[in-house]
Amino acid sequence: MTSSDDPGSGALAGLRPRLPSPLREVVDERFARRGVRLLLKRDDLIHPELVGNKWRKLAPNLAAAAGRTVLTFGGAYSNHLRATAAAGRLLGLPTVGVVRGEELAGRPLNPSLARCAADGMRLHFVERSAYRRKSDPGILAAVLRAADAVDAYVVPEGGSNPAAVRGCRALGTELVGHADVAAVACGTGGTLAGLAAGAGAGMRVLGIPVLRGGFLADGIRDLQTGAFGGPRGEWSLDDRFHFGGYARTTPELTAFAEDFEHRHGVPVERVYVAKLLYALVALAEENAFPRGSTVAAVITGRPFPG
């Protein structure tokens, strides 16, 4: 690990994470009757504002930014933009959020973007086709010029670069010896890429993509190659639980999430965590987990506004 990857380094002391995050068993008869133990890995408790996997992914990038302006990308409800803005306020770093959708520029900010702005993030709205092509170096350079941030430290959309993936390795090592299966919801898959590397051989890592499309596995292999030089760990994806795509939901999923909150007293974030927990209950019903096994569900976030 290089020192710039070390989230414990002095510059980040103001972030005060709760690490390792708590790991708690919950008794849920839908698992118990199959002889399966369910653990909740409470990454939602790592930090009140840099919630969950966002802390693990951002911390090494904030260290690498070394005081420069941090610029990143997201949609109008992005958890990643809110976390970056909060980090900027806590560390005294200037932040710029490049937001998808030029048409949002003249309108009142939604609660998520309003929180970003209140934390001091400068918002720069970009037309959708340019936003889509932002990894093209020419387009990126034009966006940085237009945002008046040519010297910024750039973190990609969703925050998944090699430093972020290495930052998520600790999530896996924290579970070694406690779980046979670790399960996590996937957006970019950066969290799973790091988790699987830290978990190593002997733990199965299961990813539940919340986006439609079924192209995520290649992206995760690329992220692992970028972060570690090659594939790591024993992971797989189950593409059946996206409920129509990103931020889509159904009455059944909403009812499931409310019921889970009542049973276990844990707030269930709806875009990612609800789909993960739903998937695990369905898989238990299919006898996908051997009797006697322990499954750890990573609670990667918390509802906003909470």
Ligand X SMILES: *Cc1c(COP(=O)(O)O)cnc(C)c1O
- Residue ranges that bind ligand X, judged by CB under 6 A: 52-54, 79-80, 158, 160, 185-191, 269, 272-273, 300-301
Nearer CB in complex with ligand X: 34/297: 297
CA dist., res. 152 & res. 248, Å (int): 33
The Cα–Cα gap between 88 and 34 comes to 46
Backbone angles phi, psi at 179, to 5 degrees: -140, 150
Cα of first residue to Cα of last residue in the chain, in angstroms, is: 35
**Cβ at position 193, least distance to ligand X in Å:** 8
**Alpha carbons 305 and 211: distance in angstroms, whole number:** 22
Measured torsion, CA atoms of residues 209, 242, 37, 231, in degrees rounded to the nearest 10: -10
- CB atoms < 10 A from the CB of 273, how many? 29
Minimum Å gap between C-beta 80 and ligand X is 6
Rounded Cα distance between 86 and 119, Å, is 6
Return the number of other C-beta atoms located less than 10 Å from residue 247's C-beta.
13
> Which of 34, 278 has the CB closer to ligand X?
278
Question: Which tokens in the block code for residue 11?
Answer: 């510059």
Distance CA 75, CA 99 (A): 6
Supply the minimum distance, in Å, between the C-beta of residue 156 and ligand X.
10
Q: Give the nearest distance from C-beta 272 to ligand X in angstroms.
A: 3
Instruction: Say how many residues make up the chain.
Output: 306
Residue number with CB closer to ligand X (88 or 187): 187
Structure tokens given for 254: 């909403």
Quickly count: other Cβ atoms within 10 Å of residue 250's Cβ: 11
Nearer to ligand X, 34 or 55 (CB): 55
CB-closest chain residue to ligand X: 301
d(CA 214, CA 75): 21
Output 187 or 198, the one with its CB closest to ligand X.
187
Q: How far is the CB of 198 from ligand X (least distance, A)?
A: 14
CB of 170 to ligand X, least distance (A): 14
Residue 34 or 302: the one with the smaller Cβ distance to ligand X is: 302
- By beta-carbon proximity to ligand X, the closer residue of 34 and 134 is 134
Closest distance of CB 43 from ligand X, Å: 9
